[in-house]
């Protein structure tokens, strides 16, 4: 006997053998068991989800000689003929090849004849959306009021193309794409029954590649069995699908976690030796990052597998924010991959983008100094912009307006030494001694708030409140009433934890809301910034070199471009 492909051999012959589509099967089963039958059914869904299969099983249920029920006997002559595809009362019409109105009229001419031997004459119109407009019009009246012995079953992948007049005459069922878990479970059942050795990871890879279609999954499984010489092995399936083994994905993700660009490119080069499909590789990266994110945020919902320890280790190496960033970059990168001059180059750029856009942290003391401009934007350093209000002609070009950026002059640097030190009273590099908490005063709070380094809503609360008093291991604060909507008990507890960690002692926090009589850390920082800026402006106006520039270009200093360095 010739070999029969898995998709045909394992086509379900009754509802109990169906994988998925429970919402459709329940309605059909109840209708059949209670003899509440409609004259026209429409099954809609993408390819390979079971539209035609359900229609054929429904036909068996309607014409089974033991009676109408959701469980056909499978052994009577009617069921046997349906299984073997030779029932003369089951007429399957391929609407894609018979789109003309003449074909539809020929079909309708036979509708009034009684079935040869079955209970009903059943017409299955596959790919019904391919019928022409005239064919639909010819079908309308018969579809609305067919003879009692006729049932119409329509199947389509695009129900939007069907006229509303057709839809309104049918009982419509929308079939869903099958979940990966459902496909995996069904494939394992089939492979076990066929006595074909398989690896769970290989079956999972086939299920994901099927994109919700059981027929596609079985077709890929047939191909995998042939490629693996009677076995379904992960390495063979990876090569067959053009995807990569999980080891490559894990190695690349580990290199991203360790900020090791050289190791990252080396792993991509090794992966390239296996001629992967880079779009599938990005899909595998997204799947891995999804598992890492679940492990970080909802660890109790993870399903145990062989890679649990690897996922947990990666989840510890990568922050939650970085996981989300990598996922978004890989997701958007799939759209850009087709425009890259070479798929490998495109994949490398996506990984390098993830590496480059990852926020820097843990840098040395001299590397994390920030410079803030008056408008809140970061600047590379102190700079002066001199605007030319007149015309200036040079030997190389002429400009009506020019801007020249120069480094802060030595005179300005020297001038800064003549002013008092504006650093706050508490040394930023040292923690406050716990024994000094009783002497902690309001003026110390501004310096301490900088050292706490908290952000978000809690950071806004910290920067806009003042210290009131310290009693019995409890710190009392007053929050500006403008920020009262940010305050909650959760923030009080969070600030208490931060201060307890800082002082090495269990503390409590109480925050009241009111009108403040003293300056908050934010107001103090703003005033300090303005004071430093004014001093720098004065020094610049008195600097001899700057005066020469102003005279040479007939210009003036752009005040908004003066950016004093942040007080350290």
Structure confidence at residue 328 (pLDDT) = 92
Domain boundary among 188, 208, 241: 241
| 462 within some domain | yes
Structure confidence at residue 501 (pLDDT) = 85
* Closest to 447 measured CA to CA, from 434, 429, 459, 435: 429
- 126 and 233 share a domain? no
| 367 within some domain | no
- How far apart, in Å, are the Cα atoms of 77 and each of 64, 65, 275, 334? 8, 8, 53, 53
| 366 within some domain | no
Q: Does residue 427 come out as left (phi exceeding 0), alpha (psi in the -120 to 50 range) or beta?
A: beta
Stretches where the chain sits below pLDDT 50 are: 362-432, 434-435, 567-568
| 413 within some domain | yes
Interacting residues of 435 by C-beta distance below 8 A, sequence separation 6+: none
Interacting residues of 297 by C-beta distance below 8 A, sequence separation 6+: 320
Residue 101 has phi, psi (to 5 degrees) of -65, -30
Domain boundary among 356, 382, 402: 356
- How far apart, in Å, are the Cα atoms of 423 and each of 149, 157, 428, 452? 95, 71, 9, 17
CATH number at residue 290: 1.20.272.10
| 361 within some domain | no
Centroid of chain to Cα 45: 25
Residue 501 exposure: Cα atoms within 13 Å on the Cβ side = 9
Structure confidence at residue 229 (pLDDT) = 87
Domain boundary among 241, 257, 273: 241
- 328 and 456 share a domain? no
CATH number at residue 157: 3.40.50.300
- 441 and 506 share a domain? yes
- 437 and 341 share a domain? no
| 364 within some domain | no
pTM of the predicted protein model = 0.53
Structure confidence at residue 534 (pLDDT) = 78
CB burial class (10 A; 0-12, 13-18, 19+) of residue 211? middle
| 347 within some domain | yes
Given a contact cutoff of 8 angstroms between Cβ atoms, the answer to whether 278 and 347 are in contact is yes
Structure confidence at residue 567 (pLDDT) = 41
- 76 and 188 share a domain? no
- 505 and 386 share a domain? yes
- Sign of the dihedral defined by the CA atoms of residues 302, 306, 312, 318, in that order: negative
The number of folded domains in the chain is 4
- 344 and 321 share a domain? yes
- 127 and 207 share a domain? no
Residue 143 exposure: Cα atoms within 13 Å on the Cβ side = 26
* Closest to 473 measured CA to CA, from 514, 506, 515: 506
Across-strand partners of 392?
399
Q: What is the DSSP string of 315-329?
A: HHHS-HHHHHHHHHH
pLDDT tens per residue, range 192-230? 999 999 998 889 889 888 888 899 999 999 999 988 888
CATH number at residue 213: 1.10.8.60
Query: Domain range for residue 493?
Result: 374-568
- 122 and 231 share a domain? no
Structure confidence at residue 235 (pLDDT) = 80
| 369 within some domain | no
- 24 and 156 share a domain? yes
CATH number at residue 391: 3.30.300.150
Interacting residues of 282 by C-beta distance below 8 A, sequence separation 6+: 330, 333, 334, 337, 347, 350
Structure confidence at residue 190 (pLDDT) = 92
- 185 and 206 share a domain? yes
- 169 and 22 share a domain? yes
């Amino acid at each position: 006997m010739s070999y029969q492909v898995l998709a045909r051999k394992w086509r379900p012959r009754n509802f109990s053998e169906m994988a998925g589509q429970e919402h459709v099967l329940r309605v059909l089963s109840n209708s059949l068991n209670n003899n509440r039958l409609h004259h026209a059914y429409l099954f809609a869904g993408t390819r390979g989800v079971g539209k035609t299969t359900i229609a054929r099983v429904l036909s068996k249920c309607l014409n089974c000689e033991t009676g109408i029920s959701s469980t056909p006997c499978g052994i009577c002559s009617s069921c046997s003929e349906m299984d073997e595809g030779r029932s003369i009362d089951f007429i399957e019409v391929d609407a894609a090849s018979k789109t003309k109105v003449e074909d539809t009229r020929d079909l309708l001419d036979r509708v009034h004849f009684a079935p040869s031997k079955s209970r009903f004459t059943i017409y299955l119109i596959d790919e019904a959306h391919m019928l022409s407009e005239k064919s639909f019009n010819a079908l309308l009246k018969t579809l609305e009021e067919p003879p009692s012995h006729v049932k119409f079953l329509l199947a389509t992948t695009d129900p939007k193309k069907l006229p509303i007049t057709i839809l309104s005459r049918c009982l419509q069922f929308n079939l869903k794409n099958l979940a990966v878990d459902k496909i995996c479970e069904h494939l394992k059942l089939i492979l076990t029954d066929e006595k074909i050795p398989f690896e769970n990871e290989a079956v999972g890879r086939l299920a994901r590649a099927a994109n919700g279609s059981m027929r596609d999954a079985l077709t890929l499984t047939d191909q995998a069995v042939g490629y693996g010489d009677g076995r379904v092995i992960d390495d063979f399936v990876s090569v067959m699908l053009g995807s990569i083994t999980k080891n490559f994905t894990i190695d690349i993700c580990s290199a991203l976690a360790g900020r090791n660009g050289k190791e990252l490119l080396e792993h991509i080069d090794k992966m390239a030796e296996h001629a992967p499909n880079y779009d599938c590789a990005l899909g595998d990266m997204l799947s891995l990052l999804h598992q890492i994110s679940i492990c970080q945020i909802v660890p109790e919902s993870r399903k145990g597998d062989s890679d649990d320890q690897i996922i947990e280790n990666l989840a510890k190496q990568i922050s939650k924010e970085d996981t989300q960033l990598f996922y978004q970059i890989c997701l958007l990168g799939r759209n850009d991959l087709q425009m890259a001059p070479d798929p490998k180059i495109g994949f490398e750029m996506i990984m390098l983008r993830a590496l480059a856009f990852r926020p820097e942290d843990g840098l040395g003391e001299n590397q994390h100094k920030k410079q803030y401009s008056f408008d809140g934007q970061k600047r590379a350093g102190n700079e002066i912009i001199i605007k030319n209000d007149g015309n200036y002609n040079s030997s190389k070009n002429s400009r009506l307006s020019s801007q020249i950026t120069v480094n802060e002059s030595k005179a300005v640097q020297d001038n800064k030494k003549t002013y008092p030190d504006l650093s706050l009273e508490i040394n930023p590099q040292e923690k406050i001694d716990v024994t000094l908490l009783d002497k902690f005063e309001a003026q110390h709070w501004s310096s301490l708030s900088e050292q706490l380094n908290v952000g978000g809503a809690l950071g806004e609360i910290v920067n806009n409140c003042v210290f009131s008093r310290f009693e019995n291991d409890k710190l009392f604060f007053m929050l500006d009433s403008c920020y009262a909507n940010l305050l909650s008990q959760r923030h009080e507890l969070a600030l208490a934890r931060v201060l307890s960690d800082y002082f090495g002692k269990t503390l409590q926090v109480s925050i009241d809301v009111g009108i403040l009589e003293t300056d908050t850390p934010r107001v103090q920082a703003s005033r300090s910034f303005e004071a430093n800026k004014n001093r720098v402006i004065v020094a610049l106006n008195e600097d001899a070199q700057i005066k020469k520039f102003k005279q040479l270009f007939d210009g003036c200093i752009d005040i908004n471009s003066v950016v004093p360095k942040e007080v350290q």
